[in-house]
Amino acid sequence: MRWRVSVILGTGGTVGLAELTLFIIAGRERHYGPDGRALLGWNAMTAPTSPSPSSTAAGTRVLCAMSGGVDSSVTAALLKDQGYSVVGAMMRFWPDDKRTETFDSCCSPDAAYEARRVAEQVGVPFYLLDYREQFQQHIVGPFIEEYAKGRTPNPCVNCNTKVKFDELVKKAKMLGCQYVATGHYVKRVVNERGEVEFWRGDDPRKDQTYFLWGTPREALPYILFPVGELEKPRVREIAAERGLLTASKPESQNICFVPGKVQDFVAEHLPQVQGHIREIRTGEIVGEHLGTQFYTLGQKKGLGLYQTHRVRHVVHLDPATQTVWVGDYEDCLWDDLSASQANYLVDLAELPQRLQVQVRYRTAPVGATVLHADEHGFRLRFDEPQFAVAPGQSAVLYDGPRLLGGGLIDDHAPALPGAVRQ
């Protein structure tokens, strides 16, 4: 595939603009100048930089992931100030067709334009990486499949681990960069053994370690988080001081490929299948629905039940029988959980038996005891029962501020009334 892109070339504090034709094939690039001659290797794309000799980072190449937002913009600026040889890059996820308009600001063509502008302001080269195929395969497809199975996925976890970090670290190595840097609010800590650990960011409201539990452990030494020790207001101040165009840009709050409500997006991809809504304790039919994919555990609004004065919550989803089970708040409490597809950022032998687990991004971690853990998954018991622990979401493990790993929460079928158990 052929793209025409603007690449920022910086040298000695000056900035020039060169038009390149970028051929993107299966995530790999070849670059050609205006005269049609191939530019061979990474150095052919970028003019040599002259970082400060006093900087300990002088000459060290860093691939900086840029999204067109303030966090990644400040990340690039801070790295440049520290003397790194910074290369800005944005991963292209949006398609060629009209669906481009549905992509949220963090992943849209407009965001790519703003990221390129910021790279020009900072004085670093910038280019696009084509990962549309990987995004569809690892993010959009599984997102729809999980809802079809009655689960509640978190696509941002998969995007950060299976696409962003995994692919960017590989790309950085290919292009002679020693590190990858992002604008995540995560602290990079080196322990007494020289091992890199991920800790919660200093801004508790913005901490993003929850999304990074699936990062390959071998990739940790190659990842930098320049804003991890800053609070969000200070990041915006730095952007304003530098005159960066993203200084006051609002944060993205939505799933990037879902333009509106998740239910509407799911309805476009999964057929409606009518089924019953039943009481979990009696099996009584109390309503009808058009598909289990439109519900999630703990939900109490929009159930459309027959006349009832009691508050009902979704307790269990069974796509095989197209049944939505509802019950009391107490019926949604979990004493324990099992998780699969685990990834650990510590040796299994060092995983503490007592730790904290976080089962949603916006909830506080809670105490738990590990009952079993192996390379495939783990089982643990909460100190206190937890409400509506949703299969498909992430169970993320912590030891205080340190991220230990995590896994995807398994299905947890409650005891069903005997007459309808089959």
Binding residues: 65-72, 91, 183
Q: How far apart are CA 17 and CA 13, in angstroms?
A: 13
Q: Give the whole-angstrom CA distance, residue 137 versus residue 68.
A: 24
Structure-block tokens of residue 205: 């409201």
Question: Which run of H or of E encompasses 87?
Answer: strand 85-92
Residue 301's alpha-carbon distances to 205, 265, 277, 296, 393, in angstroms, are 27, 19, 14, 11, 20
* Residue at token pair 């998954």: 377
Half-sphere exposure of residue 341, counting CA atoms within 13 Å on the CB side? 15
Residue of 64, 159, 177, 332 marked catalytic: 159
Please say whether the beta carbons of 74 and 119 come within 8 A: no
Q: Among this protein's residues, is 107 annotated catalytic?
A: no
- In order of 162, 200, 211, 293, 389, the CA distances from 382 in angstroms are 28, 21, 21, 28, 11
Mapping DSSP to helix (H, G, I), strand (E, B) and coil, where does residue 1 land? coil
Which residues contribute to the annotated binding site for ATP?
Answer: 65-72, 91, 183
Note if 156 is an active site residue.
no
Pairing status of strand 366-373 against strand 323-327: unpaired
Q: Which single residue is written with the structure tokens 């005269």?
A: 35
Residues, the chain: 422
Strand partners, 7: 18
Q: Identify which of 49, 22, 48, 25 has the alpha carbon closest to the alpha carbon of residue 33.
A: 22
The residues annotated with a catalytic role in the active site are: 159, 256
